Amino acid sequence: MLRYLSRLKKGKWQVLLTVLMLTGIPAGAQTNSHKEHMIGVRGGYAFNGVSFNPDRKQKMVPSYINASLLYTFYHDLWKTMPYFGLQTGFTYTQQGYQTPDLKRVYQVLRIPLTSQFHIDFWKMRLLINLGCFGSYRMSAVDYTIDIPDGQQVAFDCNHLYLDYGIQGGLGLSLVLRPFEFQIEANYFYSLSLIENPALYSNEYYSYGYPSQLLFTLGIFIHL
């Protein structure tokens, strides 16, 4: 597995390191006077896909299974800029793709680490998300014409459990303390392969990177 992960392009490592640095900014800047702590739940609708090379004529797979338990910490930076926040938690979601012969859906547990920049006005917030994530693919199911109800995929060394990548998005929040209601659109792109490139051929490798466009509604409680 390490052999194939080492083939990841240098540019993708640089992108991930940059995001990690940006995400770490709020965590170290806690010498402020204004702080907010929130915990909440979020759910929504997603479009899941995988970018394959060579192309498999793949299509995106929609999913309603997207549920999150999140903690958010807002604070000022250098006591003058009240725009910064850090968000993390747990998300149960899916990855998947569909080709002319197969639809494959993965069940995934994801841990996001997000810098949530916010601009407050009236009882609203404009949210700007930038961060990274780590995931674990727990299982997968294949759907075909012959097996419309699905068949469990036997995971082995050719199927990669661990996943990581970058994320970004926008949102809008309505603040009615102690509650806060948020609507967001976020895009997740994996920098790890979804399967062994030599799974189908030792001569012609196939590379696949998952992605997800996620639309959510959330409710948070100010602690």
* Tens of pLDDT, residues 57-112: 999 999 999 999 999 999 887 777 789 999 999 999 999 999 999 999 999 999 99
Query: What is the pLDDT confidence band of residue 47, given thresholds at 50, 70 and 90?
Result: very high
Secondary structure (3-state) at 147: coil
Strand 151-152 relative to strand 207-222, pairing: unpaired
What is the identity of the amino acid at 27?
A: A
| Domain containing residue 113: CATH number | 2.40.160.20
pLDDT of residue 199: 85
pLDDT for the residue numbered 77: 76
Using an 8 Å Cβ cutoff, are 188 and 212 in contact?
A: yes
Please say if the pLDDT value at position 9 is more than 80.
Answer: no
Cβ 1 vs Cβ 52: under 8 Å: no
* Distance of alpha carbon 108 from alpha carbon 161, whole angstroms: 9
Element (H, E) at 23: helix 10-28
Task: Say what the pLDDT of residue 151 is.
Answer: 94
ω into 210 cis (within 30 of 0): no
Q: At 8, is the pLDDT very low, low, confident or very high (cuts 50, 70, 90)? A: very low
DSSP string, 161-212: -EEEEEEEEEEEEEEETTEEEEEEEEEEEESS-SB-TTSS-SSS--EEEEEE
Q: Encode 130-169: b = buried (16+ Cβ within 10 Å), e = exposed.
A: bbbbebebeebbebeeeeeeeeeeeeeeebbeebebbbbb
pTM: 0.84
Total structural domains within the chain? 1
Instruction: Assess whether pLDDT exceeds 50 at residue 12.
Output: yes
Report whether pLDDT(16) > 90: no
What percent of the chain is modeled with pLDDT above 90?
Answer: 73
Helix (H, G, I), strand (E, B) or coil at 27: helix
Task: Identify the H or E element spanning 10.
Answer: helix 10-28
Structural domain range at position 210: 2-222
Give the confidence band of 26 by pLDDT, cuts at 50, 70, 90. Answer: very low
pLDDT for 137-183, tens place per residue? 999 999 999 998 999 998 888 888 999 999 999 999 999 999 999 99
pLDDT at 19 over 70: no
